A and B are shown apart, each in its own frame.
Chain A
């Protein structure tokens, strides 16, 4: 039923297969007097799937927004494939947490071919790309519907197809499944794994869900609690794909991540004047 996806990419089509390396070097971002992130350095390899994991409000999304060129960095540098990020760029695709990012007055197909259309691709090419990526996310049958007529999970699929149809080198995903129910989220995670392997893109995936990170990532970068957040530690995830939550190595990793994040959450609560240990009693 599902079209077999060739991971060794025998023919051009699904992306151009050249995920670009992303280099974050000493990046700091402030909003007025508020320091969101401080001195973050991170090298992401071409074609890698990296998860940014951290407690809510720790500046993960801010960092991602800087990678996408929406937010300017105040210190340090951000380069993609060796070139500095200077603003929004079609090579840097972004999947937003909220499906408000979809264009509600356009059909699903029109949404997906928006990028190719803006880049002046031929009509035939637009149609081919829309068809291909709608097929990849399993939404070909919904091509002529409007986003408002779809479920939350389907809308996020449309966002993913829209970004991939633009054939970016890097896909940035900002808690894309945060607003979905648990069952849909699980399906979407499995799909993401499959789609990422088919597209060959570099992916930076922001989440606060530890299991989601373990399921998807090549590496997991844990961030400290904000303000002035930085990278606390980086965990390689050397588990065979597709991954099982019950894998003992996964359980071990989960314990370590839990501990790491727990420390940061407790620190954040203390900073807010709350006493987590006192509350636990």
Chain B
């Protein structure tokens, strides 16, 4: 009786494992199909419009090899990644505490609100000239532009998170004897972590959108700079390489961020 039951359970588990495997395979299959279809359409467009307008997949691939062989591509990826990571990192480091204070303290909110609401509508590209004039053509002007694009969204998300912390948690902490500071750091901050992570992801997206404009002027290397200078050489295929690399890089960064955040911050309710 028991043996039969155990056997039945085992086959049940096996069947479930098989079903999960099939589902994973199907998901992967759909992904691959989608990419193949995209490449197919790209190929058709390239055939229709010719290499002066659309570089075909194979032309793009050989252009990528060409750019990789002299190190241009790798250097561009490293340079752009560095700018994005530094600017975005600073944006998160500043945006989180500012967001906490904005969300928690009314006076701070009232003081900063006009500026946040003003600057978040001005795209970073509007500041490119000023950044170069003020900070020179070195790294700092690019990093500051990335920081600018990251910091507001992190601040806004963090303060929204602070304001949505469950009232009974705050009351419970207060009635258990926590001070205002202990409540801010011990209750509000941990409760806000999922909002902060969302803010950081959006800021990462913004950073990628901004890197191309940040590298418009006087950048020697970088994916944005690659895209801009290719125009001067009339190399549409290099432009394609830059764009596709940027997209893949963004995808990888977001994936890494999601995996790390959901591993490290699982107990704070981060589900991605």
Contacts and interface: CB of A to CB of B under 8 A. Distances in A.
A101 B172 contact: yes
B166 A101 contact: yes
B269 A94 contact: no
Contacts, number: 67
Contact of A104 (B168, B175, B177, B269): B269
Interface string A71-93: 00000000000000001111011
Interface in B166-196: 166, 168-169, 171-179, 182, 187, 190-191, 193
Contact of B269 (A87, A93, A105): A105
A65 to B, nearest CB: 8
B169 A103 contact: yes
B48 interface: no
B175 A88 contact: yes
Interface stretch (A113-121, A179-187, A265-273): A113-121
Interface residues of B, number: 20
A235 interface: no
B268 interface: yes
A69 B176 CA distance: 12
A70 interface: yes
A260 B24 CA distance: 62
A162 interface: yes
A166 interface: yes
B267 interface: yes
A105 B171 contact: no
B176 A105 contact: no
B175 A90 contact: yes
Decide if the interface of chain A is mainly helix, strand, loop or mixed.
Answer: loop
Given A103-B190, A105-B268, A118 B178 contact: yes
Nearest to B175: A88
On chain A, which size bracket covers the interface? 20 to 34
Nearest to B179: A118
A94 B182 contact: no
Contact of A93 (B175, B178, B191): B175
Nearest to B174: A88
Contact of B171 (A68, A102, A118, A119): A68
A98 interface: yes
Contacts of B178: 114, 118
Contacts of A92: 175
A96 interface: yes
A196 interface: no
Contact of B177 (A96, A101, A102, A118): A118
Interface of A: 68-70, 87-90, 92-94, 96, 98, 100-105, 114-115, 118-119, 146, 162-163, 166
The 7 closest A-B pairs by CB, nearest first: A88-B174, A90-B177, A115-B176, A101-B168, A118-B177, A88-B175, A101-B172
